[in-house]
Amino acid sequence: MKMFFDIHTHSPSSSNQVCAIQNRYPTSDHFSSPFSIGLHPWFLKKETFENEILLMEQKLQHPNCFAIGECGLDKAIETDFDFQKEIFVQQIHFSEKYQKPVIIHCVRAFQEIIEIRKSQKPSQPWIVHGFQKDKQLAFDLIKNGFYLSFGEAILKSTRVQEAISVISMDTFFLETDNAEVSIHEIYQKISDIKQVTLQELQEQLQTNFTHIFRS
């Protein structure tokens, strides 16, 4: 039986055929299945971040921690951008110290994220989750060493469908995030777009997963 990999979700895995990485916050206390942990830019507060960083560093040493994140930069919110960058870079340091890949939330700050990767020269993979931009940005990110993760947008957006149709099979992951879709549906759509069988896609994504995430 081939597995489905859902690398970013806010719900528990509903099937033993799905390996899901559930997004957790430092203040969560459920760590019985694979998770990622991070400080999301939406919830950053100057009053609470120091404590959250401390909690995060403890919890990311849990054996079920598969990744740092989601964390990143967001220009659509009012939170001070330099503060966002500072907290993002702290989490990048955790990623390097504990050898965990990073799941990135990025809104209107792609050039800044690319610049930070160039200046930090990390050894760990960075994955831009919920990618819904065009093929040019997809190529730019991949050229700069990023991986992409696609979710619900792939079902509707022709721009995202075009992006995935032109990138190579070893550069991406799939996710449900907080959408009301199953990971099976997203796999099915990608197999249609990439003109591979569902089984071939499953094999490829399993390879991508074991290559990037600690097994």
Query: In this chain, which residue has its C-beta nearest to Zn ion?
Result: 177
| Between 8 and 59, CB nearer to Zn ion | 8
Binding mask 18-57 for Zn ion (x = CB under 5 A): ----------------------------------------
CB of 40 to Zn ion, least distance (A): 8
- Under rule CB under 5 A, which residues in 142-181 are in contact with Zn ion? 177
Comparing C-alpha atoms, which of 5, 4, 3, 56 is closest to residue 31? Answer: 56
Q: Is 74 in the site for Zn ion (CB under 5 A)?
A: no
Give yes or no for residue 6 binding Zn ion (CB under 5 A).
Answer: no
Q: Which two tokens stand for residue 153?
A: 């947008």
CB of 103 to Zn ion, least distance (A): 8
Cα torsion angle, 101, 105, 108, 112, sign: negative
Phi, psi dihedrals of residue 145, rounded to the nearest 5°: 90, 10
Q: Is the dihedral of CA 57, 59, 62, 64 positive or negative?
A: negative
**Quick one: 53 or 179, whose CB is closer to Zn ion?**
179
With vertex at residue 13, the alpha carbon angle to CA 172 and CA 32, rounded to the nearest 5 degrees, is: 105
Q: Which residues are at the interface with Zn ion (CB under 5 A)?
A: 177
